[in-house]
Amino acid sequence: MSVWVVLPVKPLNMAKSRLADVLTPEQRLRFAEGMLRRTLNVTRSTRSVTGTLVISRDTKALSIARDLGARTVQESGAPALNPALMRATQLLATWRTESVLVLPADLPLLTSEDVAGVIRAGGDHERSIVIATDRSSDGTNALFVRPPGLIAYEYGHHSYQRHLGFAREADAHVVEYKSENLQFDLDLPQDIVDLYRTLIGQPLVRGVSLTEAFDAIQAALERRVVE
């Protein structure tokens, strides 16, 4: 079975805007670039992945993707995630790919085993949806679709339940995939506190700012080998 991963990437200098009050622009940019490289290395090292397609308006993000062996699609005009994902899916369908796995490019704990596990969960079913949510059970952090285009994309608030509903309407084999690594994304200040405890191995102590904690997180992620 051929499986292509689709990574939508917003302009790197606009990443993690909800953390703008606690992180510097340089920290957010460095994190976005690091996560893109890490995610591409994870998908490249996953044997069950045929290839990775990055869609973005950011020429630097696309250049990084090509350097790491991914195919790219340049987006233009106003950002609109769901139509962009559907265009990418239609393109992959013309390449005769059998399955698509949509991932965000900013899951700090993502491993190759997570990606392979989602793909395995799809099994041999000809119509299959595997979906992993975030820690609040609101968003969609991984979405495996076989065949490509079986359901529409409706990313945004409450997308997890919408995608589940679409999958059931499509009479697909549906798996709700549970993974702490896939659930963990970094959007809010509390996420920095939680990720610090996970990566550093101890709680954030009084007197250490979120900015300082984030620098420690960055260093830990850069030392961490892709598995």
Q: What's the pLDDT at 207?
A: 85
Which percentage of the chain shows pLDDT scores above 90?
Answer: 85
pTM of this structure: 0.93
**Per-residue pLDDT tens digits for 129-153:** 999 999 999 999 999 999 999 999 9
**Per-residue pLDDT tens digits for 44-102:** 999 999 999 999 999 999 999 999 999 999 988 766 899 999 999 999 999 999 999 99
**Per-residue pLDDT tens digits for 107-120:** 999 999 999 999 99
Q: What's the pLDDT at 31?
A: 94
Q: What's the pLDDT at 65?
A: 98
Sheet strand arrangement including 51-56 = 71-74, 51-56, 3-9, 99-102, 140-146, 128-133, 173-176
Q: Which residues contact 10 (CB under 8 A, 6 or more apart)?
A: 56, 57, 58, 79
d(CA 139, CA 161): 8
Q: What's the pLDDT at 57?
A: 94
HSE-CB for 122 with a 13 A CA cutoff? 27
Residue with tokens 């309407």: 169
Q: Is the pLDDT of residue 34 over 60?
A: yes
Q: Which residues contact 47 (CB under 8 A, 6 or more apart)?
A: 116
Q: What's the pLDDT at 3?
A: 97
**Per-residue pLDDT tens digits for 185-194:** 998 999 999 9
Q: What's the pLDDT at 225?
A: 66
Q: What's the pLDDT at 137?
A: 93
Averaged over 3-23, what is the pLDDT? 93
Q: What's the pLDDT at 226?
A: 62
Q: What's the pLDDT at 227?
A: 53
HSE-CB for 60 with a 13 A CA cutoff? 12
**Per-residue pLDDT tens digits for 177-219:** 999 999 999 989 999 999 999 999 999 888 889 999 999 999 9
Going by C-alpha positions, the residue among 226, 8, 203, 168 that lies closest to residue 101 is 8
